[in-house]
Copies of this chain bind each other. A is one copy, B any other.
Amino acid sequence: MADFELLKELQMSRETQIVQLVLDGLGGLPRPSDGKTELEAARTPNLDALAARAQLGLAVPVAPGITPGSGPAHLSLFGYDPLQYDIGRGVLEALGIGFDLQPQDVAARGNFCSVDEEGRITDRRAGRIPTEESRKLVALLRAIKLPGVETFVEAVKEYRFVLVLRPTDGQTLQANILDTDPQRLGVPPLPARAQDKESEPTAALINDWLAAAREILKDHHPANSLTLRGIAKDPGLPHFDAVYGLRAAAIATYPMYRGVAKLVGMEVLPLAGETLEDEVEALRAHWQQYDYFFFHVKKTDSAGEDGDFERKAAVIEHVDQAVVPAILALEPDVLIVTGDHSTPAALKSHSWHPVPTLLWSRYCRPDGVAEFGERACGRGSLGVLAATDELPLALGHALRLNKYGA
């Protein structure tokens, strides 16, 4: 990962601007017809022209062979080793629905489940009840009151919801607590079990809440019980301004990415809408106010997840037309084009494949290859790099780091 102590020591203030353009799930796999990946098949004259003046490489999000979720993958892009900085699932789930999580909050991901008359789990996902049904149950659960904390219950999707406890009496809640989901059928949900003394009051509160919730749900088969997972707090990550000396802004349409950006201290910019053009407009409007922009494009990943090669290529073409020239027109000092992970249409899921990555600055050594694609990147001079190296490289290319040693 990025050496935060070193970077803190060397960082200096400069009037230079960095853009990290992240096409979610950018990396792909060859299609049978012509052996081209989504990125290789897309017509991308602007990215190709930029590639000719840039350096290329393949970024490894977490570790070789490891397929990352979106949370860890973005932490990596921001320079944080996701194996060291663990964002609990409850926190990610809360961020994912745009919940305004506070540092003192404890968040958990909830699952509605089905239990038999002895309370033993018969379906860990309550028959995947529709989200609409889930919303009604969540509304009922909001009636539960606990001493000294405010509780929030929010529907997510189907059988999933989020529970947040927020202290109102000044106490500090700790959340080193095991999941209540036993991960198998035929046994009852487990109680919340604190793993240290400091977390015991939180576990007691959660167990009280669970008892009340089960009482409310008992006649609502198939969602007649529930389990909690990933009970966690904001991990208190070091912030971009402290580590990198960067005033950082995030441009992203999905709550999850906005949330992770907030965790590392970025300002999340307001958007007029959810199109790429809206995102570009936000970049233009705030260009002078920040040193670094995280510009997130979601739909490459969605298309990959749907197994839609053509649509993923089309999103890339749209970025090439609507985003790349607009960024270049603003004359950034450093532009990185990358992805958080690969989502090959062929796999319909995230994958472990390293991610095509392009770094341009006035001070880069161009590879001279006028093509941005997996194979071109596989021969690029950035080599196979850790995604966590992108920010330090950007700082170097932005002349924002002092010399180390005499």
Contacts and interface: CB of A to CB of B under 8 A. Distances in A.
Interface of A: 3, 6, 10, 29-30, 35, 37, 55, 57-58, 62-72, 82-83, 86-87, 89, 92-93, 96, 344, 346-347, 349-353, 363, 365-368, 374-375, 377-385, 389, 391-397, 401-406
Contact of A392 (B35, B63, B378): B63
Contacts of A72: 404-405
Given A30-B365, A89-B406, A382-B384, 15 more contacts: A10-B66, A29-B363, A62-B404, A63-B392, A64-B385, A65-B394, A65-B395, A65-B401, A67-B402, A68-B404, A69-B403, A70-B406, A93-B406, A346-B363, A367-B378
Residue from the set A3, A70, A347, A404 with the largest chain B CB neighbour count within 10 Å: A404
Contact of A403 (B64, B350, B368): B350
B6 A66 contact: yes
A37 B69 contact: no
A92 B58 contact: no
Contact of A64 (B30, B366, B396): B396
Contact of A3 (B55, B63, B92, B396): B63
Nearest to A346: B363
Contacts of A383: 58, 383-384
B30 A405 contact: no
A82 B352 contact: no
A63 B363 CA distance: 17
Contacts of A10: 66
Stoichiometry (number of copies):
2
A392 to B, nearest CB: 4
Contacts of A404: 62, 66-69, 72, 82
7 contacts: A65-B391, A69-B404, A72-B405, A92-B406, A352-B396, A353-B363, A365-B378
Nearest to A256: B406
A67 B401 contact: yes
B69 A406 contact: yes
A368 B374 CA distance: 12
A367 B375 contact: yes
A65 B393 contact: yes
A401 B62 CA distance: 13
Nearest to A87: B405
A64 B402 CA distance: 13
Nearest to A92: B406
Contacts of A3: 63, 83
Residue from the set A57, A69, A406 with the largest chain B CB neighbour count within 10 Å: A406
A63 B389 CA distance: 9
A102 B189 CA distance: 44
Nearest to A380: B378
A309 B363 CA distance: 15
Contacts of A391: 65
Given A30-B365, A380-B378, A64 B393 contact: yes
Nearest to A71: B405
Nearest to A70: B406
Residue from the set A68, A352, A375, A389 with the largest chain B CB neighbour count within 10 Å: A352
4 interchain residue pairs of minimum CB distance: A378-B381, A65-B396, A383-B384, A65-B392
Contacts of A6: 63, 66, 83
A200 B368 CA distance: 58
Contacts of A347: 363
Contacts of A96: 406
Contact of A366 (B30, B352, B379): B30
